Chains A and B, each alone.
Chain A
Amino acid sequence: MSTTVTRQDARYDTLRKSRNLRWPSSGDEFASEVDLCDSEGDVAEVLQRVVSAGMRPTVRSGGHCYEDFVVNNPNGAIIDLSLLKQGRLPDERAQYTISAGQVLGEVYLDLYKRHGVTIPAGTCYGVGAGGHISGGGYGVLSRLHGLTVDWLSAVNILTVDAHGKVVRRRVSKENDPDLFKACRGAGGGSFGIITSFHCDKLPPAPQEIVEAHISFDWKDMTEARFIQILQTYGHYWETRGKDPDTWGLFAGLGLSHSSSGRLGIGLQFCNPDGTCKDLSVVNEFLDLFQHCKPIAGAANLPGDKKVFHDPKAPKECVGDHEIARHQWLEATIGGGGGGGEARTKYKSCYMKRNFTTDEAKIIYKRLTQEAPGVDLRGFVLSVDSYGGATNKLSLADETSRWQRSSVMKLQYQYYWRNAGEDDARLKWLHDLYADIYSTSNVDPRYTSTPYPGEYYEGCYINYPDADMLKYPFWTGLYYGDQYPFLQGVKRKYDPNNIFHHAMSVRA
């Protein structure tokens, strides 16, 4: 039974919002209603009513969309799937089912306790499965097991046909294979409403993991040392990180502004068999940074994921390095994550190569410069390891997650509270990003962006950045050369463009 929350309802002011407090940007953008659905039948019924009434439906599972794609919906309806939990029940046609309304923490717990398996998804456990998985779904196990969409065998999705009728579909390699492929990585809000994901097979959850942290004090930092840290890190993923015995190693380099104190590296590791019996890979990796004179312990960066720095965790040593050992479920669920509410802005980049000296110099310069009137302590550039199992080239065709050659994935994150600071902070981040992607690495036609080429592989659709819309080639950044295919799927399954947002696939 669905519940419709309208402006008269006391819950409306809470439910109409995004977790990113920048959205909705004004009262004119508020949705008319939020429809809370707790079954696929509910979703179909509500969607039919909304479409027949001429309203625009947008879809929310966890509410973490970085841009305004969901909650800026003037007079429209937000179809909220967060009560849709029936995916936990066994589906007779698939071994494992994940509801679009589950948050990742629930999914991990559910799959682990029922089956001892997991998905290689994200570390923010309050993020909804619907949006996360439809855009690819990656996390700390992705180098070991690939992307979540790589494991899908079927998807339940509601589409709207040319005559405005809601159609319930179960798409797979056999049924509507084009739509199934599109649902495997092209992001949410373009084709229909995904209500559940199905997998015939999933990887076993690791038995245990180890984590470790090193950090570097900005007080002692020099440009040369900064470049050395970045290039040591990048070189590893470009070279040794491609060897399968390292695929269980996931690391994040957090680059904060100098006013924040430290920058740091956090890692999680398990051997391919899900144990931590052999930690030589960890030792080898941490050894690489010894000449950079690290400090033990985490940097405590904005937006940090707790999985990487539980200060109370018991420590042990491997070689010269301090590590903490955890059971996998405890490490995965215990950290929480997903963040509270803040005003935020994000950008992204897939990197195919190590940082060049020019890039590292620009980053250093920007992170050591003050910007008058702008508090830069809320900024962090997360440089996540990538590659490993995510780079199986055959999956670039089988799924719509086309970036399969990258060794690092960058997420630019900026957090603040005061709306009056929006313009200055957004401009600072915009300029930083444009600067970094204006070196000789970038074809002049695509300057200011990490357009796919020798060094870069575009941007992640789950980290959408509407700033990129100003470039006529923005679809190449997010959808690559699969865009024409996706446009065909759009025309076929959503001929009236019912599902749309600023960066959705356009017919």
Chain B
Amino acid sequence: MIWSRRRFIQRVGSFSSVGALSVALPFETWAIGEEAGEVNASGSTPRFAYVASSDTDGGHIAVFTVTKERWNLVQTIDSRSPNALVLHPHRDVLYVANQVSEYEGLPCGTVEAFRIDAKSGELSLLKRQRLSLSGTNPSCIAISPDGRSMAVALDGGGAYNLLSLNDDGVPEQVSSIIKETGAGLHPEHQGSARPRFVLFDPMYQNLLSADLGCDRLSVFCVSDGEMVRNQHVNTVSGSGPARLALHPTNDVLYAASELDGSLSSYAYERSTGKIGKHLQRFAYSDASIKALPSHASLIVHPSGKFLYSSLSGSDGVITVWGVQRLTETLSPIQSFKVATKSLRGLHISQDGSELYTLSDVDDTVSRISIDKNSGELGSTRRQVEVIGATSIALKYT
């Protein structure tokens, strides 16, 4: 499909409900290897929603004000092939990873920082910052818990960049670069290192990462603008890890892989910042995934009781997992079929009552209710249509 700015259409309001569809779980399961507390509901409805949209014109960010039922488009602002959005933890700044391979003729990607108007939610560009030479096609941004550092995974450049954020949250020059090497079983996808995801351990300044190209999870220690590799963990050969999520208690790490459609869990030793024992692994046995992998998404419910995954090859199924803290195991609760075959992202509302899904195939952001007790997904509402949607960020305060 060719997208263009002209096709950027907002459709607000209720669309037909897809509803829940329970199907048999399509997994083979291998066992390899307490409750997190109540949800701190500081608000169920975000104030603003930001949706990145990438098209042949380059792309833009759509800004919505949010009421209980409606999203109202208040602004679209240009952005260079926006690929991932993330908010500063305590400043009114939105960051964008631009999936580009050139900037001013140089072989590098960029990140953008937008100031958020606290009243209207509207964005204004603060800075476009180039990444390291050969650091192309950034795929993910993470902001450190203290709001002082930005880490970027560079899918095209096989590298990680660390940038300092100034007092206003504006990114400065790249201060640290880690260039990765490696390859995997599938030359078409794994000819070289492809860092796809970064995630800060919220309690420590450790950066966790997933590298699809060389089947590797890594932990980096971040301090004083420097990033030092602390650990490499090899995943199953040919798996292609691409998404990570930490349990709210920070002692279990979940990894979704795109080339084999698998989900793994690992013990995470938060005091040492090391990935420990491989606890559990679920994988599709469908070889076709390797030929045509789709996006994987992963998110833990704020209560820590449930995990939601949309795995590569799952054909539009969101799996709800129960998290058994005593045994540190996952068990499937529900398979929930959504209307689209490929989900680009999952996002849970702050109070854990709603799951937002993002699809770049049928160009929708949908909202699905979550039963807080069982974790099961219920009624679905197509919230808004955004052509070429790639990422979403919800701002609550």
Number of interface residues of A (CB under 8 A): 27
Q: Are A75 and B177 in contact (CB under 8 A)?
A: yes
Collect the chain A residues with CB atoms within 8 Å of residue B105's CB.
466, 469-471, 474, 502
Given A496-B158, A497-B157: A162 in contact with B192 (beta carbons within 8 A) = yes
Q: Are B133 and A502 in contact (CB under 8 A)?
A: yes
Q: Are A54 and B180 in contact (CB under 8 A)?
A: yes
Q: Are B179 and A54 in contact (CB under 8 A)?
A: yes
Asked if A55 CB lies within 8 Å of chain B CBs, one says yes
Given A469-B104, A506-B107: A501 in contact with B182 (beta carbons within 8 A) = no
Interface range on chain B (Cβ under 8 Å from partner): 20 to 34
- B241 CB to closest chain A CB (Å) equals 17
B148-166 vs A, CB cutoff 8 Å, 1 = contact: the mask equals 0000000001110000000
A469 — nearest CB in chain B belongs to which residue? Answer: B105
Cα distance A203–B173 in the bound complex, in angstroms: 50
Q: Are A496 and B104 in contact (CB under 8 A)?
A: no
Asked if B106 CB lies within 8 Å of chain A CBs, one says yes
Cα distance A470–B103 in the bound complex, in angstroms: 9
- A9 CB to closest chain B CB (Å) equals 19
Q: Are A497 and B177 in contact (CB under 8 A)?
A: no
Given A495-B192, A500-B107: A74 in contact with B183 (beta carbons within 8 A) = no
A26 — nearest CB in chain B belongs to which residue? Answer: B173
Given A74-B174, A75-B176, A162-B191: A500 in contact with B183 (beta carbons within 8 A) = no
Q: Are B177 and A162 in contact (CB under 8 A)?
A: no
- B130 CB to closest chain A CB (Å) equals 12
Cα distance A498–B159 in the bound complex, in angstroms: 10
Given A28-B173, A74-B174, A75-B176: A496 in contact with B181 (beta carbons within 8 A) = yes
Cα distance A82–B191 in the bound complex, in angstroms: 33
B132 — nearest CB in chain A belongs to which residue? Answer: A74
Cα distance A54–B180 in the bound complex, in angstroms: 6
Collect the chain A residues with CB atoms within 8 Å of residue B158's CB.
496-497
Asked if B229 CB lies within 8 Å of chain A CBs, one says yes
Given A54-B229, A470-B105: A164 in contact with B177 (beta carbons within 8 A) = no
**Interface residue from B133, B192, B193, B214 paired with A500 (Cβ < 8 Å):** B133
Cα distance A74–B176 in the bound complex, in angstroms: 8
Q: Are A51 and B181 in contact (CB under 8 A)?
A: yes
Q: Are A164 and B182 in contact (CB under 8 A)?
A: yes
Asked if B178 CB lies within 8 Å of chain A CBs, one says yes
Cα distance A201–B192 in the bound complex, in angstroms: 39
Q: Are A496 and B177 in contact (CB under 8 A)?
A: no
Asked if A188 CB lies within 8 Å of chain B CBs, one says no
Given A495-B192, A497-B157: A76 in contact with B177 (beta carbons within 8 A) = yes
Asked if A168 CB lies within 8 Å of chain B CBs, one says no
Collect the chain B residues with CB atoms within 8 Å of residue A506's CB.
107
Q: Are B179 and A55 in contact (CB under 8 A)?
A: yes
B172 — nearest CB in chain A belongs to which residue? Answer: A28
Q: Which of B159, B173, B181, B191 has the most CB of A within 10 A?
A: B181
B126-144 vs A, CB cutoff 8 Å, 1 = contact: the mask equals 0000001110000000000
Q: Are A163 and B183 in contact (CB under 8 A)?
A: yes
Collect the chain B residues with CB atoms within 8 Å of residue A163's CB.
181-183, 214
Cα distance A54–B227 in the bound complex, in angstroms: 11
Given A54-B177, A56-B177, A75-B176: A495 in contact with B183 (beta carbons within 8 A) = yes
Cα distance A55–B159 in the bound complex, in angstroms: 10
A477-505 vs B, CB cutoff 8 Å, 1 = contact: the mask equals 00000000000000100011110111000
**Interface residue from A74, A466, A471, A474 paired with B177 (Cβ < 8 Å):** A74
Q: Are A496 and B107 in contact (CB under 8 A)?
A: no
Asked if A267 CB lies within 8 Å of chain B CBs, one says no
Q: Are B106 and A469 in contact (CB under 8 A)?
A: yes
Given A469-B106, A497-B134, A501-B133: A491 in contact with B191 (beta carbons within 8 A) = yes
- B316 CB to closest chain A CB (Å) equals 34
A454-484 vs B, CB cutoff 8 Å, 1 = contact: the mask equals 0000000000001001110010000000000
Q: Are A470 and B104 in contact (CB under 8 A)?
A: yes
Asked if A160 CB lies within 8 Å of chain B CBs, one says yes
Q: Are A496 and B192 in contact (CB under 8 A)?
A: yes
Q: In chain B between 256 and 293, which residues have their CB closer than 8 angstroms to a CB of chain A? A: none
- B102 CB to closest chain A CB (Å) equals 9
Cα distance A28–B175 in the bound complex, in angstroms: 8
Cα distance A52–B214 in the bound complex, in angstroms: 14
Q: In chain A between 46 and 104, which residues have their CB closer than 8 angstroms to a CB of chain B? A: 51, 53-56, 74-76
A57 — nearest CB in chain B belongs to which residue? Answer: B179
Cα distance A54–B229 in the bound complex, in angstroms: 9
B372-396 vs A, CB cutoff 8 Å, 1 = contact: the mask equals 0000000000000000000000000
A32-45 vs B, CB cutoff 8 Å, 1 = contact: the mask equals 00000000000000
Collect the chain B residues with CB atoms within 8 Å of residue A496's CB.
158, 179-182, 192-193
B178 — nearest CB in chain A belongs to which residue? Answer: A54
- B165 CB to closest chain A CB (Å) equals 16
Collect the chain B residues with CB atoms within 8 Å of residue A55's CB.
177, 179
Cα distance A259–B191 in the bound complex, in angstroms: 56
- A31 CB to closest chain B CB (Å) equals 12
Collect the chain B residues with CB atoms within 8 Å of residue A491's CB.
191
Collect the chain A residues with CB atoms within 8 Å of residue B174's CB.
74
Q: Are A497 and B192 in contact (CB under 8 A)?
A: yes
Collect the chain A residues with CB atoms within 8 Å of residue B176's CB.
75
- B287 CB to closest chain A CB (Å) equals 23
Cα distance A471–B105 in the bound complex, in angstroms: 7
- A57 CB to closest chain B CB (Å) equals 9
Collect the chain A residues with CB atoms within 8 Å of residue B107's CB.
500, 502, 506
Collect the chain B residues with CB atoms within 8 Å of residue A497's CB.
134, 157-158, 192
Collect the chain A residues with CB atoms within 8 Å of residue B180's CB.
54, 496
Collect the chain B residues with CB atoms within 8 Å of residue A74's CB.
132, 173-174, 177
Cα distance A321–B369 in the bound complex, in angstroms: 95
Q: In chain A between 149 and 165, which residues have their CB closer than 8 angstroms to a CB of chain B? A: 160, 162-164
Cα distance A498–B183 in the bound complex, in angstroms: 14
Q: Are A162 and B179 in contact (CB under 8 A)?
A: no
7 A-B contacts (beta carbon < 8 Å) = A74-B174, A470-B105, A474-B105, A495-B192, A496-B182, A497-B158, A497-B192
Known: A163-B181, A471-B105. 6 other contacts (CB 8 A): A28-B175, A56-B134, A56-B179, A74-B173, A474-B105, A497-B192
Which residues of B does A touch, CB under 8 Å?
104-107, 132-134, 157-159, 173-183, 191-193, 214, 229
